[in-house]
Amino acid sequence: MSAEQKTNFIRRQIEAELASGELGAVVTRFPPEPNGYLHIGHAKAVCLNFGIARDYGGSCALRFDDTNPEKEDAKYAAAIEEDIRWLGFEWSRVSHASDYFGQLHDFAVELIKKGLAYVDGQSAEEIRAGRGTLTEPGVNSRDRERGVEENLKLFAGMKNGDYADGEMVLRAKIDMASDNINLRDPVLYRIRSSRHQRTGDAWRIYPLYDFTHGQSDALENVTHSLCTMEFEDHRALYDWFLEHLTLPGPSRPKQIEFSRLNLNYTVTSKRMLAQLVEGGDVAGWDDPRMPTLSGLRRRGFTPTAIRKFVELTGVTRKHHIAEMGLLENCAREDLEARAPRAMAVLRPLKLVIENYPEGESETIDAPNHPADKSMGTRKLRISREVFIERDDFSESPPKKFHRLAPGRAVRLRYAFVVRCTGVRRDEHGEALEVRCEYDADTRRGAQPAGGRVKGVIHWVNAADAAAAEVRLYDRLFACAEPGREADLRAALNPDSLQVCASALVEPMLAAAAPARWQFERLGYFFPDRDSAAGKLVFNRIVTLRDSWAKLTEKSAAKTSAKT
Ligand code: ATP
Ligand code: MG
């Protein structure tokens, strides 16, 4: 186990079982339904299941929970595999719930023969109505006392396609008055005439999740079946099946629940994310604003940052909503030390250095990382015309503005100090070009004779800068808990994407292999997959500081000043 791996109640339980000798080798599984892409919430289940198997010398299988033929697709399964590998994990084997359709059918027949299951011809509505409520017991179905032979015959008919979808179901015969609604004769099998992505037309009946999961765990010798809290009330049923069925091996998996990972300003539900994709609110499952692993990957988040985030959120049974800021901080922490530095200008404003000789230029050795000499240096060229960030110039500078303004001086990063001598404006008064003079004695950090210059701004050389599109992202939703809103789409943040279509970057970036960069003063960036030869596109992964924390502090300060 890595030194920084935090322990949790599940790990402690496994350690105790291993120490007492009751547990041989730990076997876990990650059981996604191939009906969408994995999101950051799934990362928690992935890290937990695979991490435990790795740390205790056990194994973890990838099991596709493919019991809903209508919603599932092989393309999702392939994407899920890619995402798990990207996170840094490898499964011991791949299986599918559908691999066990034959055995599950035989289990159902076993229950019928034991008088523990019956075919119910009631409609879905009748079954629902008969189930009762949290305060009222259910009522027995009129079909509950059907004899074994008739049940076997009807179930075979269901299987053979003699009946239509919804005409009848197979139910367990447990207790219609149980305090636990899941034990009130749950449905085990339903008729579905749809084609299954793996078994084709072989089956007309499909088992429900509850009748599939525990038995699949047992067939795979899973020791610890880790799942999220919403399955807590299903555990009694999970155990009931294992107790009443003749399982081939001695395995008795234990279901252990933990709380879901939730993240503010986004949703972690495939169904809700699908709504955004289908509604065209995002550019697809891997839109860099999506909390999907494919979206985070495309944006430039590292697997290290995601694993760290998952670890920091911990494993408990309490409801909790993690802060988006925490995920972003994990990315900053990971990238600060290893992302090489570069300069980029998002909204260029031309700066003409009037006393710099025309036709001349000079090269500067700039460090690739200010704190890590081993990352080396690169050559920057500067000449009479450079581009600076429009925001770094102000004609009427507010207080504490330490950047460029008429009459004021600022250092061009790694180069020299320039003093603004004039502005050329368009007919709307918008600055078109800023003029300045440089002080040749301020190279290599030397301060000008006239007094210290505080401000340092980034720039690119006009003659050789490369054009780029830079995409800046903000929270996908404007409110902290969009999943609670009646209208999910109305809760979207209309400013979640800003495109800087005419950004300029250091020329070396045009030829660089895809990597994560820190663009000085702007944040961490990663080439988007829309990049092509001659077309650079960068995504901002995160800003350098948490701008949202600052905003919250400010508004908190304002509120406390008022009261
Ligand atoms: P969704 O509601 O997004 O469809 P799900 O639970 O239906 O999620 P599955 O594909 O069935 O998705 O989930 C695979 C595994 O991942 C399950 O064990 C599930 O408990 C776990 N999981 C899903 N969402 C989260 C989450 N937010 N936090 C932790 N684990 C999760
Ligand atoms: Mg599901």
**Which residue type sits at 463?**
A
Please check whether residue 465 is in contact with residue 311, taking contact to mean a CB–CB distance below 8 angstroms.
no
Catalytic residue among 29, 198, 260, 332: 260
**Domain boundary pick from 457, 479, 512:** 457
C-alpha 518/C-alpha 343 separation (Å) is 8
The answer on 124 and 27 residing in a single domain is yes
Provide the strand spans (E) within 289-376: 321-322, 341-342, 344-345, 348-353, 361-367
Identify which of 530, 520, 521, 464 has the alpha carbon closest to the alpha carbon of residue 499: 530
The answer to the question of residue 54 being in a domain is yes
Q: Is 104 helix (H, G, I), strand (E, B) or coil?
A: helix
Question: Which residue among 209, 228, 268, 306 has the greatest number of ligand 1 atoms within 8 angstroms of its CB, and so is best to mutate?
Answer: 228
The rounded distance, in Å, linking the Cα atoms of 455 and 477 is: 35
- Across the chain, mean pLDDT equals 94
Task: Establish if 403 belongs to a structural domain.
Answer: yes
For residue 45, give the ligand 1 atom closest to its CA.
30
Q: What is the DSSP string of 188-210?
A: EEEE--SPBTTTBTS-SEEE-HH
291 in any annotated domain: no
348: its two tokens: 């260029």
Look at 47 and 553; give whichever has higher pLDDT.
47
The single-letter DSSP state of residue 530 is: T
Helices (H), 220-292: 235-244, 270-278
Decide if 228 is inside a domain. yes
Determine the distance separating the centroid of ligand 2 and the alpha carbon of 353, expressed in angstroms: 62
Domain harbouring 164, CATH code: 3.40.50.620
CA of 171 to the centre of ligand 1 (A): 26
Domain that includes residue 421, residue range: 344-457
Is 294 within a domain? Answer: no
- How far apart are the CA of 528 and the centre of ligand 1, in A? 28
What's the pLDDT tens digit per position in 156-214? 999 999 999 999 999 999 999 999 999 999 999 999 999 999 999 999 999 999 999 99
Query: What pLDDT score does 1 carry?
Result: 52
469 within a domain of the structure (yes/no): no
Whole-prediction pTM value?
0.93
Where among 401, 422, 457 does a domain terminate?
A: 457
Ligand 2 centroid to 58 CA: how many Å?
26
User: Is 260 a catalytic site residue?
Assistant: yes
Of 44, 173, 235, 270, catalytic: 270
Of 295, 310, 307, 304, the residue nearest 336 (C-alpha):
304
Residue 322 phi, psi (nearest 5): -75, 155
Q: What is the dihedral of CA 511, 357, 353, 344, to 10 degrees?
A: 10
Q: Is 270 a catalytic residue?
A: yes
44 part of the active site: no
DSSP 3-state of 527: strand
Which residue from 30, 42, 65, 96 has its CB within 8 A of the most atoms of ligand 1, so it is best to mutate? 42
Q: How far apart are the first and last CA of the chain?
A: 51
Give, using CA atoms, the residue closest to atom 2 of ligand 1. 269
Give the C-alpha separation, 271 to 293, whole Å. Answer: 15
Decide which of 220, 242, 260 is a domain's last residue: 260
Report the b/e string of 112-139 with b at 16+ CB within 10 A. Answer: beeebbbbbebeeeebeebbbeeeeebe
Ligand 1 — pocket residues by CB below 6 A?
31-33, 41-42, 44-45, 65, 227-228, 260-261, 268-271
What's the token pair of residue 41?
């919430």
pLDDT above 70 covers a percentage of the chain that reads 96
**Contact between residue 460 and residue 386 where contact means Cβ atoms under 8 Å apart:** yes
Q: How many domains does the chain have?
A: 2
Phi, psi of 54 (to 5 degrees): -65, -45
In ligand 1, which atom is closest to the CA atom of 35?
10
Top pLDDT among 318 and 559 is at: 318
61 domain-assigned: yes
For residue range 431-476, what is the model confidence (pLDDT) as tens digits? 999 999 999 999 999 999 988 998 999 999 999 999 999 999 999 9
Q: Give the residue ranges of DSSP H helices in 346-463.
A: none
